[in-house]
Amino acid sequence: MSEPPGVVCRECPDRVFANVRGDSGDLRLRRAVAQVAGLDLPREPGTWNRADRSRAYWLGPDEWLLVVEGDDGLALEERLRDALDGPFSVADVTGAQVQLELSGPDAGKVLQKSSPYDFHPRKFPPGRCAQTVFSKTTALVAAREDGAFDVVFRRSYADYLMRWLADAAAEYGYRLE
Amino acid sequence: MFRIHCPHCQEVRSEEEFSYAGEAHIPRPADPSSLSDAEWGEYLHTRTNPRGPHREMWVHTAGCRRYFNVLRDTVSYEILAVYRVGEMPPERGEA
């Protein structure tokens, strides 16, 4: 097939994940995360922030997912713990998560097929993220500036979700990298 | 199918993302061991089951995983109000 595929899926194996919880208004929490990951925790519901190699996704009013490239999960947790001083929680959840990048002109259509959430660009512009029902499981989906999407889901559903994506994207042309 | 406004995500989401969690505003007795079996049974099992506005809890299972309260008409299924745990429903819903 010489036609470029409508959907390209790429696994991002070099990511580590930390679940961070605490009062979003507490400066000690915000400073510690800024010091370790170089970014500010998003306070606006359903948004995410990024720095050079790290991202912070809003999961709830007092909960975030911190994703860092090419790091060590336990070491990241340790650094956060060292920097944090107060009633906060940090847990390395690298072993539980898989991150994919969905790109291509029809990536958004595959998301729309997979979920009851409104992934129309008007409602879901770059900088937004949402945890929602995704096929028969759940996922965190984030819209990026370059038009691609980051999808984070549970590792135990990886086999199922990869088959689902391949099937859902087949009509647009699908390439797995 | 409900379309429910999550007060934490501040978005209207599909019912698929939520789970029902029973009637709201049922305080746990301060000293359970001092209650009779009948009183404890009352707390555990007796619900108002109204016809009309019903104050109930929902949890945004597939989203932010937070609990919140919904005031819903059990006849029309209309959602009259959504409010956070710890808050009281708006006046018009007082059944």
Which pLDDT score, from 0 to 100, does residue A3 have?
A: 80
Which pLDDT score, from 0 to 100, does residue B44 have?
A: 96
Which pLDDT score, from 0 to 100, does residue A71 have?
A: 87
Q: Are strands A129-134 and A137-143 parallel, antiparallel or unpaired?
A: antiparallel
Burial code of A29-52, b = ≥16 C-beta within 10 A, e = fewer? bbebbbebbebebbeebbebbbee
Q: Chain B partners of A93 at a C-beta cutoff of 8 Å? A: none
pLDDT, averaged across chain B? 93
Which pLDDT score, from 0 to 100, does residue A50 have?
A: 96
Question: Domains of chain B (ranges plus CATH)?
Answer: 3-27+38-93 (3.30.2270.10)
Domain boundaries, chain A: 7-11+97-172, 15-96
Q: Has residue B2 got a pLDDT over 80?
A: yes
Rounded CA separation B1/A98 (Å): 31
Q: Which fold has domain A15-96?
A: Alpha-Beta Plaits (3.30.70)
Output the pTM of the full model. 0.92
Chain A, 24 to 43: residues with Cβ < 8 Å from chain B are none
A138: nearest CA in chain B? Answer: B62
Task: State the count of interchain CB pairs (< 8 A) between A and B.
Answer: 39
Give the confidence band of B92 by pLDDT, cuts at 50, 70, 90. low
Q: Chain B partners of A60 at a C-beta cutoff of 8 Å? A: 8, 64-66
For the ranges A133-147, B29-43, B81-95, which has the lowest average pLDDT?
B81-95
**Average pLDDT of span A91-110:** 96
Q: Does A131 touch chain B (CB under 8 A)?
A: yes
**Average pLDDT of span A36-42:** 95
How many residues are given for chain B? 95
Edge-to-edge strand ranges of the sheet holding A63-69? A48-50, A54-60, A63-69, A15-21, A89-92
**Interchain proximity B65–A116, CB inside 8 Å:** no
Which pLDDT score, from 0 to 100, does residue A109 have?
A: 96
Q: Has residue A1 got a pLDDT over 90?
A: no
Give the confidence band of B70 by pLDDT, cuts at 50, 70, 90. very high
Which pLDDT score, from 0 to 100, does residue A130 have?
A: 98
**Average pLDDT of span B44-62:** 96
* ipTM of the complex model: 0.90
How many residues are given for chain A? 177
Chain B residues near any Cβ of chain A (below 8 Å): 8-11, 13-14, 16-17, 62-66
| CATH tag, A7-11+97-172 | 3.30.1360.120
Q: Chain B partners of A130 at a C-beta cutoff of 8 Å? A: 9, 11, 63
Percent residues over pLDDT 90 in chain A: 94
Rounded CA separation B55/B24 (Å): 6
